[in-house]
Structure 1
Amino acid sequence: MVESSALQKYSLFGGLLENQIDTIQPLMELEHYGPGDDIILEGERNDKIRFVIEGRVAVIKANLTLFEFGEGDAFGEMEVLDVMPSAATVRAITATKVMSISNRSLREIYKRDMAAFSIIIMNLARDLSRRLRRMDEWRCNAWNGEGAPEMPGPKRK
């Protein structure tokens, strides 16, 4: 398991006290994936928010790599928040460790510590807002024929 003090550096847990993380940690799972392993499959149900502890993952749609995520990055949150099937496949690029929090565990956090739950949801909202902002900038740059320095275009698999 990952130390509570180490988890504080991840954006998902920013602003949480160590004792709050200690309460949440037993509700999380450590998952291991090898290179090429699918973590989430497009179109299937996903009920976990995951964040990379070690390694790299690719977000793939229609055989295009849309994004790559590394240590500290969260993924899978869209499906948990909007309860829709997964919009893309997430695949391990390297040997990867992720921590996951299930939808059920989020409800348990809500019951145990409303303040911690609120902080986690606000952190998720911030992360999603940053991604949306980068995507908007990327689209505007693409529309204007400019490069997109922060978000490289999709790569064919």
Structure 2
Amino acid sequence: MIDKKVLDRIFEILPKTSLFGGISEEEIEYFAMLMEEVRYKEGDVIFSEGEPPGDSYLILDGKVDFLMLGEKLGTVKDGKLFGVVAPLGIQKQLSTAIAKTDITLAVIPKMALLKISEERQELFGKIMFNIARDLARNLILVKKILMEHMEWCKID
């Protein structure tokens, strides 16, 4: 059972995430009840690049570093979701997530979406739409980066 203080923090953060755009307070409450609290110490590995897909996470407090091929990609802080795409695509983790500070996470178990799809189809549809929208935005960003790189590499 998740403690009230953590649940309050989840309710504060979730509505501000793109994953929960257009989702009612009651639906957020249902979703939050599926989450679990976990804590990591600074330097702990949350997941590693190449591992099978696992859970998704909401940072309640602290910072997480992401690395790919041993190179630091960036840092995210409280209020951010991560690990959402790997379980959906049944793809190995693309990066390594390491606790930059002591952190508190709300874990979204990988089986939570299956439960939602069975019990709350409308909520499931909204979440899938929001994930698809975020993926489309990410593809546009990747295209922009690739185009800039191609321009930089262009030989006259």
The verdict on a shared fold, with TM-score over 0.5 as the criterion, is: yes
**Structure 2 counterpart of 1:93:** 100
- Unmatched segments (≥5 aa) in structure 1: 147-157
Match of 1:29 among 36, 44, 64: 36
Match of 1:47 among 40, 45, 54: 54
- Unmatched segments (≥5 aa) in structure 2: 1-5
Using the aligned pairs only, state the percent identity.
28
Could you give the per-residue CA deviations for residues 43-102 of structure 1, whole angstroms, max 9, x where no partner exists?
212321222222221221111012322233322123201112212211121222222212
**Structure 1 counterpart of 2:121:** 114
The whole-number CA distance in structure 1 between the counterparts of 2:24 and 2:118 is 17
Matches within 5 A, 1:65-76: 65-76=72-83
Flag the 1:72–1:127 CA change in 2: closer, same or farther, 3 A.
Answer: farther
- For the aligned residue pairs, the C-alpha RMSD in angstroms reads 2.0
Aligned residues of 1:11 and 1:72 also touching (Cα < 8 A): no
Kindly name which structure, 1 or 2, has the bigger radius of gyration based on alpha carbons.
2
**Structure 2 counterpart of 1:79:** 86
Q: TM-score, normalised by structure 2?
A: 0.82
Aligned residues: 146
Q: TM-score, normalised by structure 1?
A: 0.81
**Structure 1 counterpart of 2:3:** none
Deviation, 1:17, is 0.8
Aligned residues of 1:58 and 1:93 also touching (Cα < 8 A): yes
* SS across alignment from 1:144: helix
* SS across alignment from 2:132: helix
